[in-house]
Structures are given as structure tokens and as C-alpha cells.
Amino acid sequence: MNQLCKVLIVDDEILVRQGIKYLLDWEREGFQIVGEASNGQEALDFLKIEKPHIVITDIVMPVMNGEELTRLVKRDHPEMEVIVLSSFSEFDYVRSTFQNGVADYILKPKLEAEALLQVLRKTRGRIPGLESMEAPQDHNLSVDSILSRLVAGYEIQVDADFVRLQFPHELFSFLGCEVNRSVLKDRHYVNQFRESIETMLKENVPGLVQHTISGEQEGIVFLLNLEEKRWLETVQAVKSFSQSVVESQPELRFTLSQAFRQFSEAAGVYQESHVKLQQYRFFFPYEVLLIHSELPAQEAEPEKFNLTQFTEQLKRLQLEEAFTELRQYVTSLSHHYESDIFQFKSFLGNIIFNVTNQFSHIKDLEEQKYALFRAIDEAKFADEAIGILGVFLDQVQDQTSSLTQSPGSIVNMKKLLDYIDEHYTEPLSLTELARHFHFNPSYLSSLFTAHNKEGFKEHLNTIRTDKAAELLRAGEAPISEISSMVGYGDHSYFCKVFKKYTGLSPSGYRRQYYSQE
């Protein structure tokens, strides 16, 4: 049998890798994709275990780019050939890779099946032992190719007789094992572990048929085909195996999808059960095995968080109440395991943004917010992200309590109130007041609400309406002039504010006062 030419795909964009994988019928053309990598360093780690004949690599990638990868491959593995993917703007890099011995290059905008196949055949002809090799004559897709295409979302027609031959039983399910990405680089370990799972299933479930889904980025996935009467045995075998393995390798986690009866349902179940179980893992970090049919009852999704009320509590420095309600809400949200992970993390980040914005005068909080955004974004589990938020909230309470409870803050508050009493006839604003006392406006607002029953604006309006009431009772000044005498430039606005605070219009207030004398 002719040897297949082994190919490694290296690109930091998963969609590009997927596109290349399904651009050709690789095995029919005499090639085999033996792996993927998202940067040059991952590719070098892969080469230590596998020995591909051809490496197809992008140029611009994080960690290690394609230019450096090409140089190291040709230095340490001169027998391997490299094909470079590039855009028009990267020609200088491509020229450099040719100096290092690259076999050929393909422009990404012109990446088509026929062009790729021609470059692959030409490159294969340079490899000793493969140069005269013809493509296998069997034009049928292998089971591995069919499965990898199906779960990737590609439509594919499969002969019914072929399906019955490969999968003789009436029930299907996906078994997944999530493996740490650093462990995935050790192909020898992954192959050994996959074999141990296969052996366990064969020993415990008579007649079971299993196929590995190739190209998985987060671990190992099997499609199981079994007699319906063996389903409970399979579940029990997976439970026992996962519990025994996790004792020595606590980072491993397993999933078992819902069972289904038709091979044509595989793509849908893969997305709606297997992939979702992997997503639910974010909210179940300590469950070694998630089984679709044994998921706990879903709690109701909590109502939308009242951010307006929360912000008002921050302004008034009612942090104990605000943070207690927030923690309860986040806990409730984490119990709704169907929550979108991105939205969950975005909510936590938005809370941190709002809090740091409110207390922007606290330098430590402001300086660390971007690091907190990044930490939450990288959190693997909900409790980890919640813990990051919790530490932040504790820090906010410590920082703000030291500011508002200090004797200096009380002295500052008295100076503020005295200044307002003396200058209420002037066009005062919180910004101007903060500038006068060399405070941050946000801090001044928080300080004011922390030491008074009302905010700055409400306090100023109270003073002005009290003074206006005195002038109205004195009966000397015309009502039209009193508004400007107490600091209001707009008479109609003065009348509106006065009525809001006293319940009467200025003229009504004056009439009532004189009628009572």
C-alpha cells in the first residue's frame, strides 16, 4: 500500500486551518493531515513527536512567526519541506523564507483547491521515497474523514450501506475527554491515554464500536456506537473510569453527550450536546463527568441587574449593601449554566469598569483595572472569575473606608458646607467646587453623599429655596428678582424647583404666609 504524504498545518486562525482541512479530499489525493498548530512554537513541539513530510505555515503569527519556524525546521529537520501561506503585503517575509529553503508559497487570497493541490504534488515530488508515489485508488472517504467533516459543519453525503457496515448498532453518543492544552502537545501521552480509554470501553461494553474524531483542539472525542441495551453499562463504565483516572490526573474532565439513533443526527448532537457540555464545564469545574441526561434542573435566569441603583449606591458610598446585592446576583447567574460565558465575563468586567470609574480618584484601583479585565477574560471557570471580582470588591471597600472615615474627610466636609453657605448665590457646580478644593469630582460626589442625606445638587437647591422663602416672607423684594438673588439665572426654573421643595409656587407661598398673619 502506498504511503500517504503527512502534512502539518500551522496558522493562528482556526477558521483558516479548518478551511484548509476541508478544501481537499486529502486521503484520496495521497496526503494525510497529521496535526495542527496555532503558532511556530506549537509546531516545533509537534515535530518532536510526529514527523510530517510537509509543513504548511502562515507567516504572521504570535509567539513564533512562520519565518523563524521555517529557519528552525530546515536547520533541525532538513528532510521536511515547508510551504508558506502569505498575503501580498508579506512578500519581504516570503523572500526571506526562500533563503531558508522553503519549497513554495501560496497567496491566501488565491487559496483554492486546485492551486493548493498543484503545490502539494510539486512539493511531494521533492521528497525521497514519495516522489513517484501515486494517489491511492480508493476514492471512498475514510470514516475519520467523514466524521471530522460532519462535526465541523460540512454537508456530506454518506452511503447508507457504508454507514450500516461501519456502525452496526442502533445507538450513538459522543464521549469527550478535555485535556490541558499544554498536555495536548505531548502526542505520545495523548495517544497512550486515548488507547487506555479504548481498552476500557472494549473490556466493559461488549460489541461497542468506537471512532476517534480527528482534529479536536481541546482534547479527545470518540463517537460511540452500541446496542441500546448496553447504554447503562456504558454510562457506568465511563463513570468508574473517569473517577479512577482523576485521582492521579485531577485536571482531566469528561463529557458524555445525549444518545441518538441516526448517524445523520451526528452533526446536530455534536453541536447541541457535546459542544454545549464543554461550555457548561465553565459553571461545573468540580464535576469530573458531565452527562447530558443527568444535568441538574436548570435554575431560572435571574432578572437583569439594576445597574442604575447599583451606581447610585456607589455614589452614596453604600458599599456594603451594593456589594452584597451584587455578590448574590453573580452567584445566582453562575447557577444558570446555560448562560453565555462571554456575556457572563462581560458583565463582571462592566462592573469593574463602573466601580473604578466611580472611584477614579483611587489610583490603585484605576491602575489595575485592565489587568483585572484580562484575568477575567482568561478565567477557565465561573468561580475563578467570581473570585477575581470578589478580591476587587474587598479592595474597594478597604480603600474607600479609609478615605471616608478619616478625621480629615469630616473636616473637608465642613469646609465644603461652609463654602456652599457663603457662595450659594453664585453659579456653583460640583466640577467648580472640586476644582476650588483640588478634589476629583467623582470623589467629591461620593464624599458628599457619604456625609449627608442628600447629594450636592439637592443640598444646594435646599439652601437656595430656604433663602428664597425667607425673602418671600420678608415681602420686600419682587418675586421676579428673588430667583437671581438666590443663584438661579432662569426664573421659570426657580419657580419649578421652589414648588418641588415647598409644594407651592413662590407667589402662592407668599400669599399663604400673609394670609396666616
* Residue 285 to residue 280: CA distance in whole angstroms: 9
Low-confidence winner among 32-41, 223-232, 492-501, 508-517 (lowest mean pLDDT):
508-517
Q: Residue 89 has what pLDDT? A: 57
Confidence of residue 16 (pLDDT cuts 50, 70, 90): confident
- Percent of the chain whose predicted confidence (pLDDT) is above 70: 86
User: Across the strands, what pairs with 33?
Assistant: 7
Helix (H) or strand (E) holding 490: none
232 and 340 within one domain: no
Q: Residue 97 has what pLDDT? A: 61
382 and 420 within one domain: no
Is residue 300 in a domain? no
pLDDT tens digits for range 220-273: 899 999 999 999 999 999 999 999 988 888 888 999 999 999 998 998 999 899
In the chain, the number of structural domains is: 4
The more confidently predicted of residues 95 and 428 is 428
The more confidently predicted of residues 327 and 142 is 327
Counting beta carbons within 10 angstroms of the beta carbon of residue 317, is it exposed (0 to 12), middle (13 to 18) or buried (19 or more)? Answer: buried
Please name the residues in contact with 509: beta carbons below 8 A apart, sequence gap of 6 or more. 469, 472, 498, 502
170 and 288 within one domain: yes
* Residue 140 to residue 194: CA distance in whole angstroms: 26
Report the predicted TM-score, pTM, of the whole model to 2 decimal places.
0.60
**What is the rounded average pLDDT for all residues in the chain?**
83
Q: Is the pLDDT of residue 1 over 50?
A: no
207 and 133 within one domain: no
148 and 130 within one domain: no
- CATH number at 244 reads 3.30.70.270
Is residue 55 in a domain? yes
Confidence of residue 110 (pLDDT cuts 50, 70, 90): low
* Residue 200 to residue 224: CA distance in whole angstroms: 13
Is residue 299 in a domain? no
Helix (H) or strand (E) holding 442: helix 441-451
pLDDT tens digits for range 308-361: 899 888 877 788 899 999 999 999 999 999 989 999 999 999 999 988 888 776
364 and 439 within one domain: no
Closest C-alpha among 463, 513, 470 to residue 488: 463
Q: State the maximum Cα–Cα separation within the chain, in Å, rounded to a whole number.
A: 118
- CB-CB neighbours of 379 under 10 Å: 20
The amino acid that residue 2 corresponds to is N
200 and 112 within one domain: no
448 and 415 within one domain: yes
Q: Given 3-state DSSP classes, what are the helix, strand and coil percentages for the chain, each rounded to the nearest 5?
A: 60, 10, 30
Q: 293-298 long-range contacts, Cβ below 8 Å, gap at least 24?
A: 293/258, 293/259, 295/337, 298/336, 298/337, 298/338
Is residue 205 in a domain? yes
Supply 300's cell numbers. 431560572
- Whether the CA torsion 25, 29, 35, 36 is positive or negative: it is negative
32 and 97 within one domain: yes
* Residue 35 to residue 469: CA distance in whole angstroms: 83
175 and 267 within one domain: yes
Average pLDDT over residues 283-288: 91
* Residue 498 to residue 263: CA distance in whole angstroms: 76
Phi and psi torsions of 389, nearest 5°: -65, -40
Is residue 233 in a domain? yes
Is residue 302 in a domain? no
CA distances 258 to 201, 263, 274, 295, Å, are 17, 13, 8, 11
Average pLDDT over residues 101-106: 77
Phi and psi torsions of 258, nearest 5°: -65, 155
266 and 393 within one domain: no
Domain end, chosen from 404, 423, 442, is at: 404
pLDDT tens digits for range 360-419: 767 777 778 888 888 998 898 999 999 999 999 988 888 776 555 544 455 567 778 888
Q: Residue 475 has what pLDDT? A: 82
Q: Is the pLDDT of residue 27 over 80?
A: no
Q: Residue 361 has what pLDDT? A: 67
Low-confidence winner among 9-13, 261-265, 275-279, 313-317 (lowest mean pLDDT):
313-317
- What is the domain range of residue 430? 407-515
Helix (H) or strand (E) holding 109: none
438 neighbors 419 (Cβ within 8 angstroms): no
Domain end, chosen from 256, 273, 294, is at: 294
Beta strands in 112-268 (DSSP E): 171-178, 209-212, 219-226, 253-256
Q: Residue 147 has what pLDDT? A: 81
The more confidently predicted of residues 290 and 154 is 290
Helix/strand/coil (H/E/C) assignment for every residue in 308-353: HHHHHHHHCCCHHHHHHHHHHHHHHHHCCCCCCHHHHHHHHHHHHH
Q: Residue 153 has what pLDDT? A: 67
- CATH number at 122 reads 3.40.50.2300
Low-confidence winner among 62-66, 107-111, 511-515 (lowest mean pLDDT):
107-111
Confidence of residue 13 (pLDDT cuts 50, 70, 90): confident
Domain end, chosen from 116, 139, 162, is at: 139
Low-confidence winner among 20-29, 147-156, 194-203, 308-317 (lowest mean pLDDT):
147-156
Q: Is the pLDDT of residue 500 over 70?
A: yes
Is residue 301 in a domain? no
Q: Is the pLDDT of residue 476 over 50?
A: yes
184 and 217 within one domain: yes
472 neighbors 505 (Cβ within 8 angstroms): no
Average pLDDT over residues 202-213: 91
Supply 185's cell numbers. 502537545
Confidence of residue 91 (pLDDT cuts 50, 70, 90): low
- Percent of the chain whose predicted confidence (pLDDT) is above 90: 32
Q: Is the pLDDT of residue 41 over 60?
A: yes
